[in-house]
Amino acid sequence: MSYKINEGIIEEKGKVVAPEAVFRLGRFSVLSDGIDTEFVISKRPAQIQFVFELAPIPNFTLHFRDRPLDVEQTNALVKYGYFILDEGRICFVSSRINEFLEAAFGDLSLSKLIKLLRTLFQEGLIIEIPSDLIEQLRTNQQKESHHKKLFVQSLYPYQEAGVNWLSFCAENAVGTILADDMGLGKTAQVIALCCDVLEKNPKSKILIVVPNPLIDNWVREFRFFAPSIIPYLHYGNQRRGVVSAFDNYNVIITPYSTMSSDIAMFEEIYFDLALFDEASMLKNPKSGRSLSARRLEIGVIVAMSGTPVENSLMDAWALSDLVFTGFLGTEKDFKSTYVDSNIADTLNKNLDELENSLRQITLRRMKKDVLKQLPERLDIHTAVSLSEKETIRYDLIIDEMKNDAANGAGGILPLINKLQQFTAHPALLDSSISRDVRTLKANSAKFELLILQLDKIANAKGKVIIFATFHKAIDLIQGAIKERYKVSPGIIDGRTPNEERQPLIDDFSASNGFDVLLLHPKTAGMGFNITAATNVIHYSRQWNPALEEQATARAWRNGQEQVVNVYYMFYANTIEEKIDERLRLKQQLSERVVSVTDDKETDKQIMLAYLETLES
């Protein structure tokens, strides 16, 4: 037999010898430069190392025994599964390595590249993966988001960077987790992403799935950030059960419960982009809502969660597998590799590889990372959607007020008090409602949102002060916090003796981890220094804006060294929304002095003016 080597390939009579035939040769002679040279087939698979480089373009080089293979050796190995060493040896690789070679040197999308790099690293075939792979690729390609025609507000620099990152991922069909810290504006960033997607393709369909209480808030956020985009709300008894209802809309907003119940309808549509707000609601992969989400036909998924890992590493697997199926392996394999029944044993594992993998598809910035870009105080106004049951009860109270107003408004003040109790929680008016957390959430959308927010603060081991008006509401919240978080919040209201108030604040300030103080805005809204809290929740809205300003100043004052999140919760399309608008107006006109009074006549005037708007 007369064999020759041509560009690193074994040939016989001018034809390439099949790799399996080469492997069977054992020892054989090759005519090289007119001289017969003996070659030997190495029977042991060669241990190849992959080296990944980003510049000038993403590419792999191959190494054997710490020496790089040249172009001929690389081409032969990729195409035929062997390469020739100078010392007369021909080395083959295993079928598993051949699969990796085919992937690495084939048509490699970004999602396939990310998955391949992780697999190579896990198998010890690559030493290092860039932790900021996506951002480096985006920068090298000079890719930026195109959202500024539809998005009318300004973003902080870190938010612009976030939108650019999300845009690059979406363009390359890589699902991601947006896990920025609370208050850093995840909603603004994903709305800018929606604008980017629609500017690139105006026919795109976008699905946004949210917790029930946040439906109206999302509509208001679109109105503020991208007013030309009109979302379609799909929820409630009046919703249409046909796909054609979505025909004239690019953005569809629906709650998790409706997505699950109408999944047969939703899976008929292809969505270019899907956003899952408060995606920790999908952390149980076997829940009905998670199974429904996985039935949807989606181009790219973004999961929004300030707490991607709440109780277990399985939370991270569930969200990652939702946005990027298979990236972290199967649930069974992930659990056996990383999760122990004893959390201490889990922490003792080497989690560096997992953390690096998660960073590839997760964008997480903490306040401390972007502190210089932030104001000292973040005001977060959240519109809460009344449930259908709550809407009926609210309308009944409003009807009572209308009747009273028509007869001289002599009884309007007690009715205002009744309305304020209702917006705190229907249980204040209905003693038959059980006080357990599950029931309280089911009967009040605002309370459900409160618990959702407290879950995030508790997970971050933050401290929060909550302002509520009625003693019954304060007690109800305290009981729920005890049940859910095993924490006993201090209470400062009219029932708290003066000598006990400062010690409660001192205990709160000295405590470690998650803690809560429940305060009445009039009793504890002035005079106290509570800078240990970096979160303030106005659960019961004050009809006098100055009261809320002074209450917020308990945490946001001299001595506070961190950014303070101030959450204002109000029911959409109710008197509470009018109150919220008054507060925002006051903040915009800060030169104007608003006196702190307890003027029930002013409350009466506000209410009567509101009732007049309902008649028009």
Inside any domain, residue 595: yes
Confidence of residue 595 (pLDDT cuts 50, 70, 90): very low
pLDDT digits (tens, 9 = 90+) for 231-264: 999 998 888 888 999 999 999 999 999 999 999 9
pLDDT digits (tens, 9 = 90+) for 480-538: 999 999 999 999 999 999 899 999 999 999 999 999 999 999 888 777 889 899 999 99
**Residue 454 shares a structural domain with residue 566:** yes
Three-class HEC string of 117-171: HHHHHHCCCECCCCCCHHHHHHHHCCCCCCCCCCCCCCCCHHHHHHHHHHHHHHH
Its domain, for residue 65, covers: 3-133
Confidence of residue 310 (pLDDT cuts 50, 70, 90): low
Query: Is it the case that residue 592 has pLDDT exceeding 80?
Result: no
Inside any domain, residue 72: yes
**Residue 248 shares a structural domain with residue 336:** yes
Closest CA to 122 of 295, 278, 359, 353: 353
**Residue 312 shares a structural domain with residue 415:** no
**Residue 356 shares a structural domain with residue 432:** no
**15 SS3 class:** strand
Q: Which residue did the predictor score with more confidence, 128 or 441?
A: 441
Residue range 157-173: average pLDDT?
A: 96
**Residue 384 shares a structural domain with residue 346:** no
**Residue 388 shares a structural domain with residue 288:** no
Rounded to the nearest 10°, the torsion over CA 279, 280, 282, 286 is 170
**Residue 308 shares a structural domain with residue 204:** yes
Inside any domain, residue 409: yes
CA 217/CA 587 separation, integer angstroms: 20
**Residue 355 shares a structural domain with residue 387:** no
Inside any domain, residue 585: yes
Inside any domain, residue 149: no
CATH number at residue 574: 3.40.50.300
Q: What is the pLDDT of residue 607?
A: 87
**Residue 299 shares a structural domain with residue 431:** no
Q: How far is CA 427 from CA 257, 355, 479, 499, 572, in A?
A: 23, 44, 13, 31, 20
**Residue 262 shares a structural domain with residue 289:** yes
**Residue 397 shares a structural domain with residue 482:** yes
DSSP state of 310: S
Length of the chain equals 616
Query: Is it the case that residue 344 has pLDDT exceeding 70?
Result: no
Task: Tell which phi-psi region holds residue 124, choosing left (phi > 0), alpha (psi between -120 and 50) or beta.
Answer: left
DSSP state of 605: H
**463 SS3 class:** strand
Inside any domain, residue 216: yes
Confidence of residue 597 (pLDDT cuts 50, 70, 90): very low
Beta bridge partners of 28: 39
Given 108, 133, 158, which residue is the final one in a domain?
133
Q: Which residue did the predictor score with more confidence, 422 or 367?
A: 422
CA 272/CA 298 separation, integer angstroms: 6
Confidence of residue 37 (pLDDT cuts 50, 70, 90): confident
Inside any domain, residue 222: yes
**Residue 424 shares a structural domain with residue 354:** no
Query: Is it the case that residue 599 has pLDDT exceeding 50?
Result: no
Q: How many domains does the chain have?
A: 3
CATH number at residue 195: 3.40.50.10810
**What is the average pLDDT score of the chain?**
90
Inside any domain, residue 151: no
